[in-house]
Amino acid sequence: KAGVTQTPRYLIKTRGQQVTLSCSPISGHRSVSWYQQTPGQGLQFLFEYFSETQRNKGNFPGRFSGRQFSNSRSEMNVSTLELGDSALYLCASRTGGGQETQYFGPGTRLLVL
Amino acid sequence: AQTVTQSQPEMSVQEAETVTLSCTYDTSESDYYLFWYKQPPSRQMILVIRQEAYKQQNATENRFSVNFQKAAKSFSLKISDSQLGDAAMYFCAYEGAQKLVFGQGTRLTINP
């Protein structure tokens, strides 16, 4: 089975712009979660989607949003980018029924200038 | 809110030796799962081992084993016969109500 894929792998944006990141889960997985990883804050949970519905949400401003499509692929959008949004954004998928193990993608590294 | 603490920012071990990474957590939930993930320089987060809180038996996975002390809320990872490929950041993680909470990580260096 193919693993979790994320596109793009690297991205450079400027302050004030918006960005969309994409995540394709492992085939058969219906849950997708997003995490932000920074040197200062570590790994922080953004949100989880299951069957196109947001099931859980972390403590991030409304500039961070996401969605999930019927094929379980997910996108994450950040509007009005700030320098502090520079981070590695990780996506993880699991089958979705409960507290199964999450499998991570390689991440998208976002640099905001 | 649940918290996960890894008190060792860095650890080093000689190749073929054994090393133990510490993790403590705080929760009021009774049903939860604990994980150790490894993040090598490639940044890909890889599952090392998983422990269900309701299981008394400590999980093992080849050279990796845990010491799960539920009352003490402690979840340490033991790596036996350390190999150069084990060098990475190791993250302890807790999941209760469908939200994964990570510790700050321990950077493990393997000395040849």
Q: DSSP string spanning A46-83? A: EEEEETTEEEEE-S--TTEEEEE-TTS-EEEEE-S--G
Nearest alpha carbon to residue A89 among A2, A11, A29, A1: A11
Q: Which two tokens stand for residue A69?
A: 């499509």
The reply to whether residue A56 touches residue B91, judged by beta carbons under 8 angstroms, is no
Q: How far apart are CA B97 and CA A57, in angstroms?
A: 11
Place of tokens 């109500």: B97
Residue B43 has its nearest CB partner, among A55, A103, A107, at A107
Interface subset of A 77-106, CB within 8 angstroms of B? 88, 90, 92, 98-99, 101-106
- CA B66 → CA A101, B55, B73, distances in Å? 17, 12, 13
Question: What residues of chain B lie within 8 A of the CB of A99, using their CB?
Answer: 32-33, 95, 98
Cβ atoms B2, B94 nearer than 8 A: yes
Question: Beta strand pairing status for B64-69 and B19-21?
Answer: unpaired
Cβ atoms A5, A107 nearer than 8 A: no
| pLDDT at residue A84 greater than cutoff 90 | yes
Residue A106 has its nearest CB partner, among B37, B44, B103, at B44
Per the rule left: phi > 0, alpha: psi between -120 and 50, beta: everything else, B96 is alpha
Question: What residues of chain A lie within 8 A of the CB of B100, using their CB?
Answer: 33, 35, 45, 92, 102
Q: How far apart are CA A15 and CA A33, in angstroms?
A: 25
Q: Say what the pLDDT of residue B98 is.
A: 62
The reply to whether residue B95 touches residue A42, judged by beta carbons under 8 angstroms, is no
β-bridge mates for residue B65, sequence order = B60, B78
- Of A95-104, B28-37, B64-73, B86-95, minimum mean pLDDT range: A95-104
Cβ atoms A99, B95 nearer than 8 A: yes
| A73-99 mean pLDDT | 93
| B74-93 mean pLDDT | 97
The reply to whether residue A106 touches residue B105, judged by beta carbons under 8 angstroms, is no
Helix runs in chain B, H state only: none
| B10-16 mean pLDDT | 97
